[in-house]
Amino acid sequence: MEPSPYPFVRLKPKADARRLRHGAPWVFANDVVTDRRTKKLTPGAIAILQDAERRDLGVVAVNPTSKIFCRMLDMDSTALIDRAWFVARLRRALALRARIYETPYYRLVHAEGDGLPGVVIDRFGDTAVIQPNAAWAEMHLEDLASALAEVTGVNCILKNASGRARALEGLDEDQAVLLGQAPAAPVPVQMNGATYLADLTGGQKTGLYFDQRETHGFAARLAKGARVLDVFCHVGGFGLACLAADAARALAVDGSAPALALAEEAAAQAGFGDRFATCKGDAFEVMTALGDEGARFDMVICDPPAFAPSKQALEPGLRAYEKVARMAAGLVEDGGILGLCSCSHAADLARFRAASIRGIGRAGRQGALIHTGFAGPDHPMHPQLAESGYLKALFFRL
């Protein structure tokens, strides 16, 4: 057998190699022998990871400047991380989505959940948006994009460089067109009977949040005839899905004027612009004003940004979720529905649920939990990485 072209990285004697053999995807810096040789490795370099007895554990991507020193790429230590390797991983990811969705609008790659650590790819028909959130993915972006075009047949590939994870990996914020031409207008995306307009070049993240598709659908089932308040709505989120399911009317609140403009345009194109209104402003201030004027809704749904994106932000983040629940609960009619969402991986389901229940109680309300939702199946969770199961949604009948 030919020797591996990759250097070796070794675990310290007390590091838990068994965890890695059972599929754990990350190795932290304090578990790795860091000598002069390993410190010289380029961020994003590929290496063979060995245990303290020099037995191979697999092929890893290395970043000596990150707390996550190694990301497991392949447990076959003979694997070569080349274009063919990317083709195989992408074909596997595509096969799952093709079984679930009739049209090619979904998250195609969900990082570790699809065996491509730190890589997010959202597909919008003939266009794909890549977020290479780890140094190794940035280094292999040409092979990744080429393999993506081969496997999917997309004719446009965009690189989105936004996001906190890239900064932690020491990466830039430079956007790029990797193939074809960027769409000149927002891309229409149909989900749950509603059509959303996704800005793939100037919008948040990749332009649309596919992860809430299942939860939008659940809310829509309860929406017929309802007065709906959609807080932190982005490009229409819950409001448009509920209107498509014959809600009486919807008020959408967000701090982004461009996002609200896309929501309004989508509502008008769908023919229910007369039942859709928007309000630009700070969500807490808007909810306070609505409460002061005695406004009430049959359904209030809050889908805020990550209030607890890290362990350090957990406690203030939980207080923020409690505040959202308290303010939103006061706007719900008796017998109405309150939906509360969190995309903070640091706040697990139990903590988020406890904060939400405290907030409801502080509002003087009582509620029965009728639904707990998560990201859809195009966001597969790595079973040994809680961060990959970041999205939670709780629906209460108050």
Judge contact between 398 and 338, C-beta under 8 A: yes
**CA of 132: how far to CAs of 63, 105, 128, 142, 186, in Å?**
14, 19, 13, 11, 22
**CA of 134: how far to CAs of 196, 220, 277, 346, 372, in Å?**
29, 36, 40, 19, 31
Please give the structure tokens belonging to residue 396.
Answer: 């209460």
**CA of 105: how far to CAs of 86, 102, 128, 267, in Å?**
20, 9, 9, 20
Closest to 324 in 3D by CA, of 356, 365, 282:
356
- Between CA 306 and CA 298 the distance in angstroms is 26
Please give the structure tokens belonging to residue 65.
Answer: 């400047």
The active-site residue, picked from 156, 242, 302, 343, is 343
Place of tokens 């000149």: 184
Q: Per DSSP, what are the bridge partners of residue 197?
A: 188
Q: Catalytic: 156?
A: no
- Between CA 47 and CA 29 the distance in angstroms is 15
Catalytic residues: 343
